[in-house]
Chains A and B, each alone.
Chain A
């Protein structure tokens, strides 16, 4: 314990400053931890307030421990924690920190124990009051100002000295103590608070700089890559994309793969990582199979190039590219050479880039589908005006007029029904009833044409007639069944059309008795492919057309659609 007579002010200031350095060193180290994050701004949320309380209470207690005992009192830097806690966390936190620090001080005893306990609490409160004052005045930005912190602490320490004078007994001992320690403590606490605040500001500036650099990189990549992959996920576009990413991130190399092969590679090792070759890296397979980011830092997880032993690349980050339903359709890989570490900015950026690419590719696919749909609709429209059918129908009509004028009249009626239904835009939806009427008109004409060689059986349950499907779905299938089926039979043939519903699916089956289906584009029927593609684009891969065939017995075409009721309009 020091005797008051033995110390001079300058020495005490020096000691307290030394103490403060230790204090700030601890604060600096703490600033590198995530604990510090809530302290870097004016705290509003409760969990942040709690962290604020805990950290500053810690500093308060530490300030007490680091202090020197002087004749039953302690010269210390406790005030910094209490005041800053109040400034950053508000009066509640300030009070709590002050109380905690104060009670701790009280437990250590000495003639100033109760005075210090009260004064520390008051100091916390002073910080808190400033917090409220500045917030009310909408000057929250000033809360983090080091000079404000210094001024407040200065004021708080003066208050503490007054409280000691007022409360500590015997008074003359207290006044002697204050006379000796007031100046060093006021100065060192004020300067310490200012430096502490400066530390917080610096830390914040660093983080901002980091995130500015990060955003700038991300934005530049986004800007340069606009539309590249929308044109298709192929080698040409992937190579372009990889080049952009490599230039912007500055990593050693960048690769883009689909689930089977390398599509683009730019950077170190491009001599043996050849686009078009199958994927061989285990990390990539792992990323694809488990749909996870795989980081081989070259230290904990070793990275070894799977293609060449002489490869200079030493670490890799593989990020899956995810499409619809979070399914992996490829990967993007960032590499660094053996002599360089992966910067954390590039690691974080990598995932962002993967998301960016995924979205672009998805957008491209949607565009492609829209284009395909439009194309399909146009082709279907063209297919409706089938000259073959028209002239054959007219020929049949010419023959029938001669023999049976009444039957000819019916054919004219059927022909007009058929064309009226065909002229409806194929892009619109129709009910199954409409489609059956369309097909029925078509088949009546064909029945007359193939007189005796064709038999038709339509079996559709009444309750399915209101289900919806894309217009012009059924007719091309039935036309195929005639054109490539029954009309190719030497003996008489039969066409059966049926429909059933299973849960939320409707299946329409068109069966002919020819069994002549061959799955080649020419004989398979252009119309059928178009109908299938259109259904798949609209409703997904689970729907569409399935063909089964028993040679020379039957061909069965099942059209699978979601069962969608017609909206009842009143």
Chain B
């Protein structure tokens, strides 16, 4: 049995794919999402075997989204697109499977056969997956939004998840600290904290060898002893 998640911003498109997948007894559609942010959260929550991922979606494209999935939770991905010359070229090069809209049922069957066989292409090589992230997708109270990296003061984890804190707003993100550390200019300053070096107002050194960062908007972030040296190196402080 394969569990599948459909991520596409167009409702008719999702309906159609769901109807087509209904013909296969061993595929169960466990969820539908209308954008990448909902998609990330559903992937992390539902852990589907396969995602059918539209490329053209609001704010964060399907390609960008793949790069934001926690590598540990990475499902098998089938891209779905109406027309996208650049993406198609990349897919051909990396043997990534894709479906063209409107989806041909026979082609879908072939794709499912291929997925059942357990083949796993290297998504990490696809364009848009290694580039720096310009924005972090967040969920706030009843709202989904993107915070540009330059507005982020720091990111930290707590029991509820990963919190992105800007000067005037904050939200939860599905992106892990590790991924954010790799794909943004944010610097690790504590096991649970990343800080934006451009937003550091001052670093207050403490007697125990640790420190505290004061951001431009006056927020305080802990710096562990272990990360202080690293932070100093990055900021070119001797």
B81-123 CB contacts (< 8 Å) to partner A: 82-84, 100-103
Contact of A490 among B10, B19, B59, B103 (CB under 8 A): B59
**Measured between alpha carbons, how far is A61 from B101 in the docked complex, in Å?**
107
Whether B35 lies near A399 (C-beta < 8 A) is no
Main secondary structure of the interface of B (DSSP, over half): loop
- Interface size classification for chain A: 20 to 34
B187 interface hit (Cβ, 8 Å):
no
Whether A402 lies near B16 (C-beta < 8 A) is yes
- Given the known interface contacts A388-B83, A392-B82, the answer about A452 and B11 at a Cβ–Cβ threshold of 8 Å is yes
- Measured between beta carbons, the chain B residues less than 8 angstroms from A397 are 102
B46 interface hit (Cβ, 8 Å):
no
B7 interface hit (Cβ, 8 Å):
no
- How many inter-chain contacts with C-beta < 8 Å in the A-B complex? 72
Chain B nearest Cβ from A490, distance in angstroms: 5
A410 interface hit (Cβ, 8 Å):
no
**Measured between alpha carbons, how far is A145 from B168 in the docked complex, in Å?**
101
Whether B19 lies near A402 (C-beta < 8 A) is yes
B1-30 to A contact mask, C-beta < 8 Å, 1/0: 000000001111101100100000000000
Whether B12 lies near A395 (C-beta < 8 A) is yes
Whether A449 lies near B15 (C-beta < 8 A) is no
Whether A399 lies near B12 (C-beta < 8 A) is yes
Considering the complex, give the chain B residue whose CB is closest to the CB of A401: B16
- Measured between beta carbons, the chain A residues less than 8 angstroms from B145 are 490
Contact of B12 among A390, A391, A396 (CB under 8 A): A396
Whether B10 lies near A398 (C-beta < 8 A) is no
B58-98 to A contact mask, C-beta < 8 Å, 1/0: 11000000000000000000000011100000000000000
**Measured between alpha carbons, how far is A448 from B82 in the docked complex, in Å?**
16
- Measured between beta carbons, the chain A residues less than 8 angstroms from B58 are 487-490
Whether B35 lies near A391 (C-beta < 8 A) is no
Whether A391 lies near B10 (C-beta < 8 A) is no
A55 interface hit (Cβ, 8 Å):
no
Whether A449 lies near B10 (C-beta < 8 A) is yes
A494 interface hit (Cβ, 8 Å):
no
Considering the complex, give the chain A residue whose CB is closest to the CB of B38: A490
- Given the known interface contacts A398-B102, A489-B58, A490-B35, the answer about A392 and B10 at a Cβ–Cβ threshold of 8 Å is yes
A residues bordering B, Cβ < 8 Å? 387-388, 390-392, 394-400, 402-403, 448-453, 487-491
Can you sample 24 A-B contacts with CB below 8 Å?
A387-B83, A388-B82, A390-B83, A391-B82, A391-B102, A392-B10, A392-B82, A395-B82, A395-B101, A396-B10, A398-B16, A398-B102, A398-B103, A399-B12, A402-B15, A449-B10, A449-B13, A450-B9, A451-B12, A453-B9, A487-B56, A488-B58, A490-B34, A490-B58
Closest 10 CB pairs of A and B: A399-B12, A399-B16, A395-B101, A391-B82, A398-B102, A451-B11, A395-B102, A392-B82, A391-B83, A488-B58
